[in-house]
Amino acid sequence: MSLSKKNEEAGVGSFYQDKASVVQEARVFNETPVSPRKCRIVLTKVLYLLYTGETLARQEATTLFFGCTKLFQNRDPALRQMVYLAIKELCPLADDVIMVTASIMKDMQPNVEVVYRPNAIRALSRVVDASMVQGLERFFKSAIVDRNSSIASAALVSSYQLQVGARDVVRRWGNEVQEALSAKSGSGGGSGAFGAGFGGMGSYFGGGSAQPQQQSGFQSIPSSSYIVQYHALGLLYLIRSGDRMAVIKLVQQLAGASGGGRGSASITLRSPMALCMLVRYAAKIADDDPNLRGVMLELLENWLRHKSDMVNYEAAKAICELRGVTSTELQKPIAILQLFLSSSKSTLKFAAIRTLAKLAQHQPAAVSSCNVDMENLITDPNRSVATYAITTLLKTGTEASVDRLMKQISTFMSEISDEFKVIVVDAIRSLCLKFPSKQVAMLAFLSGVLRDEGGYDFKRAVVEAIFDMIRFIADCKEAALAHLCEFIEDCEFTKLSVRILHVLGAEGPKMSSPQKYIRYIYNRVILENAIVRAAAVNALAKFGVQDKALSARIEVLLQRCLDDVDDEVRDRAALNLRLLRDTKLAQRLVNDESSFKLQDLESRLQKYLSKAGVATNGTGADGEVEGDGEAVAGPSSAAFDASKVQRITREEAQQEALRAKAEAASKVAMASQGGSGPSTASTSAAGAASNALPGAGLDDGSSAAATRAHYQSTLSAIPQLSSYGPLLKSTPKPVELTERETEYVVTAVKHVFARNVVLQFNVTNTLPEVVLENVAVLVGGADEAGLTEDFILPIGLLNQENPSGTVYVSFTRTEADAYPQGQLSATLRFTSKEVDPSTGEADEEGFEDSYEIEALDLGVADYVEGRFCDFAREWEDLSSSGAEATETYALTAVASLRDACDLLVPLLGLSPLGGTEAPSSTSVHTLNLAGSVVLGAASAGGGVESSKTLVRARMTYSAEQGVGLELAVRAQHQRAVDLVASAI
């Protein structure tokens, strides 16, 4: 009988059983004598069930767990390894697992040389709790420095698990981890497996220790991977992660650098994986500390010349992902990645082209030097590499190369998966906005792939790309609508059909022959499901409302829809018939070109509902004045007044959408980008505590209106500030006044009111052994800036339980119509008390102390909000109805037009339009900016009065004279013009 036949009869291949059968088979654990072969098969089935997502009840898991523990009486190495695997998986599910500790401890003694000692160490880390780790400290320290690399690695990896609950204990193992990091090449990579499991194969291969093992008579095989260094470096970083200087010293020592210069390192890292981790640590330091950026960048460039391709790539990737990296700094890493593009290894080619594709999102000019090599990859047999090559070329290529690239893309679209098809379509989508003149070729490509087979995500990406062309490229509307009409005839996705019908209803009546679209829409009423039929009814009605010549024909079609079996379709048909007969109502509901500003609508609805809750609870009266100076009544007194909600025109909404689309499309959907920095198990006290501060929940992408609404509700709840009226402007992101690793972390937010300026200082005490009382911030330079200090709202107490708080400093403008500007110095003043570590109580007597923090700048951008608009039209409108000023400047210290744009945008606080923030020429450029300057509280409605402001900055650059700037400002009010013009 063959071996495979015997295995089949024994049940080796029959893992696909239900949970009940496996639990019954586990009775074999109780047999005497124990059969290692049968038990291994059952344990394999248990693990298979757990790995495939099967859930065990608490009682079942406990029964299996203690059944496994009975197998400790058999010393078969293979069975013991399976037992430890099962224990690791069953520990979170079973009860009283700590009872197996003694059995595991016998197998992890330092004098025991068996194959399953590493398995015992890993299992023990899952069984014990945080309170027991200190008692096991001696065993883990011994295992970490063990000469056998598998044992040392198991102890190091287990320390990762223990570090979560017993951080202070694991932190004391730093010396042993440092010793493991300096592993010599003679470290054993094998273990008792070669003696016990394979009849002395370890002796056959040779190597390892010359000393015979006590129990199994094997010799360890030396390790060539130095995996212990990789694990040790990760644990050492976790231990030192709370000390920034210790991390910097660790990176410099291991990199062979001391004090910023090159030197000899006491420990040589031979593991490429450990070096890759060190590269990530160096990149994180370069990002976090600008003072060490140059030193870390030099180290990263040195690693570009390492003999390992893995290290070369990791260093090149780290440099490419640095914040604010310049084209000069990118030259060396791009040269390395360019070499990888011609490598014979597919993994290197894929990694290099993927990194270049991400870099091309922000630095297309720097990547363009690789265009020739990337064009050779278009025909690469690996279609993933070819897809990335195409999408990157679309980002870095010129308008002249678009047609050629489109033809090459069409040749292999049918050979790649939907995931990569979406990537290509997204690249085409960004190209549509970049080169509108090539819309014919791109629309032909999109219409072609729309007819190909594909899933919902792929079809949605193509339809979204066509929608963008319809919205932002007027010349292709008619052709694009025709392609969409053909697509919905065979569209199998209801969501896409509904969206296409909506677009046809919005854009179809504006075409030269709108009647030709009616047939396609009415076909949906006849042939589709109820959801699509309802959308088609609405689309038909829009044709009748906007084109009176078609009104009678549309009315006939809608009359037929009144007999539909679905009530939603019937209701919509009846409503739309009423609209066709009532011109005024139709004009209001269908042809209105404006819409509510969603942020303002949301803010007012929240106030309305919160007021309703207060009125219901009897703790407030209807009509009470809210924080923005407006009476917001609950449902008990009046309905919600939608007339006070700010509105936005369709043109403004379209410009804002164009801006958002351009930004989103420029970030081609390559693959999810992981954090460039290393992940740590712990979070600093400053970072964790900052989430509780006012404004901490606002992300970088939150709009100015949402930010202002959030701060308005926070400030209006403070009695001393509630009378200040509506909030005009707040800093969108807190300004860091200290480094995040310092003992006291301070960030600031500037709030501007009609007559007042309030500075909000978020203070975090990161020292658990120190208590701070009466924490205040003393601000200097207010008089010179045009401000008079009113009062300070200090923090009463900052301790370990409540490490964070907020200090408010209020000022009044010296002149009501002036815009105070200047640099405000700040000093943290507090009473410091030490905490007794034995009792946890603070000393009764403390001492007054102060802490210098960085100065805070109050400038033009603090009174300006960015917005989007049709720049050309509004610029002409303001030429006749607004104020204007033009100034010229010589920016001799600015090195390029790109640097000039990067300087002007944050300085003025306005939003760049049409991608003008990225100059396409190195000698001449025009930057268009738009925004609103806050003037004060509106006379009625409790809103904010502002002045629309536009800036046109014409720039020239020469190496001899730097940047020449002509700044033209137009606004509705002279105050706004004067403010913006004074920024430079």
pLDDT for 907-918, tens place per residue? Answer: 888 888 877 887
Neighbours of 711 (CB within 10 A): 22
Mean of the per-residue pLDDT values for the chain?
A: 80
The alpha carbon torsion through 898, 901, 903, 907 (nearest 10 deg) reads -170
Read off the pLDDT of residues 844-890 as tens digits, 9 standing for 90 and up.
788 888 888 999 999 888 888 887 777 888 888 888 888 899 999 88
**Range in 42-56, 617-631, 751-765, 868-882 the model is least confident about:** 617-631
Sign of the torsion angle spanned by Cα atoms 873, 877, 882, 887: positive
Q: Residue 272 above 70 pLDDT?
A: yes
Question: Does residue 696 surpass a pLDDT of 80?
Answer: no
Cα–Cα distance measured from residue 821 to residue 290, given in angstroms and rounded to the nearest whole number: 27
Architecture category of domain 19-181 in CATH:
Alpha Horseshoe (1.25)
CA end-to-end span of the chain: 91
pLDDT score recorded for residue 794: 93
Q: HSE, CB side, 13 Å, CA atoms: give it for residue 861.
A: 17
**pLDDT tier at 619, thresholds 50, 70, 90:** very low
Angle between helices 439-450 and 418-434 (to 10 degrees): 160
Q: Residue 212: is the preceding peptide bond cis (ω within 30°)?
A: no
Evaluate if residue 832 carries a pLDDT over 50: yes
Q: pLDDT tens digits, residue range 747-804?
A: 999 998 888 999 999 999 888 888 899 999 999 999 888 899 999 999 998 888 888 8
Burial 51-85 (b: 16+ CB within 10 A, else e): eeeeebeeebbbbbbbbbbebbeeebbebbbbbbb
More confident residue, 663 or 451: 451
Asked if 751 and 718 touch (Cβ cutoff 8 Å), the reply is no
Domain ranges of the chain: 19-181, 244-256+267-324, 334-394, 398-488, 493-591, 718-858, 864-982
pLDDT of residue 354: 92
718-858 under CATH 2.60.40.1480, yes or no: yes
pLDDT at 596: 76
- Pairwise pLDDT comparison (340 vs 696), residue with the higher score: 340
Q: What is the mean pLDDT of residues 501-518?
A: 89
Burial (CB count <10 Å: 0-12, 13-18, 19+), residue 294: exposed
pLDDT at 387 over 90: no
- Would the pLDDT of 373 be above 50? yes
Q: What's the average model confidence in pLDDT over 938-959?
A: 78
- What are the pLDDT digits (tens) for 98-126? 888 888 888 877 776 678 888 888 888 88
pLDDT at 763: 93
Highest mean pLDDT among 34-38, 360-364, 431-435, 872-876: 34-38
Residue range 404-415: mean pLDDT, rounded = 77
State mean pLDDT over 139-144. 88
> For the ranges 423-432, 589-598, 892-901, 951-960, which has the lowest average pLDDT?
589-598
Closest CA to 524 of 578, 469, 569, 468: 569
Going by C-alpha positions, the residue among 270, 349, 350 that lies closest to residue 311 is 270
Lowest-pLDDT range of 400-409, 568-577, 677-686: 677-686
> DSSP for 418-481?
HHHHHHHHHHHHHHHHH-GGGHHHHHHHHHHHHTS---HHHHHHHHHHHHHHHHH-GGGHHHHH
- Name the more confident of 366 and 663: 366
Tell me the percentage of the chain whose pLDDT exceeds 70.
82
Distance CA 199, CA 204 (A): 10
**Cα 862 to Cα 821: distance, rounded to the nearest angstrom:** 9
Q: What's residue 427's pLDDT?
A: 79
Of 285-289, 392-396, 584-588, the one with minimum mean pLDDT is 584-588
How far apart are the C-alpha atoms of 470 and 468, rounded to whole Å?
A: 5
Domain spanning 864-982 has what CATH number? 3.30.310.10
Task: Kindly report which listed range (78-82, 190-194, 250-254, 858-862) carries the lowest average pLDDT score.
Answer: 190-194
**In this predicted model, which residue has the larger pLDDT, 621 or 507?**
507
- The span from the CA of 235 to the CA of 227, in Å, is 13
**pLDDT tier at 315, thresholds 50, 70, 90:** very high
Of 201, 209, 295, nearest to 257 by C-alpha is 295
The more confident residue out of 73 and 741 is 73
Does residue 423 contact residue 389 with C-beta atoms inside 8 Å?
Answer: no
